[in-house]
Amino acid sequence: MAGLDLEHELPPAEEDDRNTGTSGAGSSAGGETSSGIEAELQKVKAERDSLYDRLARAQAEFDNARRRAAKEQQEFRDFATADAIKSLLPAFDSFERALQAKSDGGDFRGGVELIYKQLQDALAKMGVRAIPAKGEPFDPHVHEAIEMVETSDAPDHEVLEELQRGYKFKDRLLRPAMVKVARNSGK
């Protein structure tokens, strides 16, 4: 008993039962020691049960906090998406009006340009910006070369034509610009 660390180690219950059953049959000193061990064992079992209960409660609290955080993140994403969609709706309204209008080509082009401007403004509010391409030096981080064109009219590795505009969201690349790039064979 002296070598046991009661806070961290407990003897198996079966061993205690065997010891109490085989100890001296009627010695009063053995009975007192046995009841002291029984009391200590009951105390340790109660402490163990209390710790198990605390552990179960802590695990449940952690699971609830994790679920709550996941729900809050999803609600934030939904809110952000709804806000982005809301800023694009005026452009779609303009598209509907343009398609319903019966007018000549000049008015139609003006309407489409207005819609284009509304979409640009909505994307700019969200932090989206176009990547400059034509006339710029080729940058593999933001440009995707589709074709190399032999020419002496432009410096080597200059973007000659933008086939599809590229975009960045803040500092993150959303889509690279697809470009044609000049190649001077004389250099």
pLDDT score of 21? 47
77 & 135 share domain = no
* C-beta atoms surrounding 138 within 10 Å: 20
pLDDT digits (tens, 9 = 90+) for 55-91: 999 999 999 999 999 999 998 888 887 877 777 777 7
Q: Which residues contact 147 (CB under 8 A, 6 or more apart)?
A: 180, 181
Domain-located, residue 4: no
pLDDT score of 27? 47
Domain-located, residue 167: yes
Contact 155, 182 (CB under 8 A): yes
Domain end marker among 27, 60, 82: 82
pTM comes to 0.53
Helix residue spans in the chain (DSSP H): 13-22, 28-100, 105-126
| CATH code at position 159 | 2.30.22.10
pLDDT band at residue 137 using 50, 70 and 90 as cut-offs: very high
* Nearest in space to 168 (alpha carbons), one of 132, 130, 135, 138: 130
pLDDT score of 179? 95
Which of 14-28, 73-87, 111-125, 138-152 bottoms out in mean pLDDT, i.e. has the lowest? 14-28
pLDDT score of 120? 86
pLDDT score of 186? 58
Q: Which of 23-27, 82-86, 141-145 has the highest mean pLDDT?
A: 141-145
Mean pLDDT, to the nearest integer, of 176-183?
93
**pLDDT at residue 26 is higher than 80:** no
Q: How far is CA 119 from CA 64, 95, 102, 160, 171, in A?
A: 41, 11, 23, 26, 20
The structure tokens listed for 50 are 């209390």
Domain containing residue 72: 13-82
Domain end marker among 21, 53, 82: 82
Domain-located, residue 106: no
pLDDT band at residue 133 using 50, 70 and 90 as cut-offs: very high
Q: How far is CA 82 from CA 77, 89, 120, in A?
A: 8, 11, 18
Mean pLDDT, to the nearest integer, of 126-131?
88
Domain-located, residue 25: yes
Domain-located, residue 7: no
**pLDDT at residue 134 is higher than 60:** yes
**pLDDT at residue 32 is higher than 70:** no
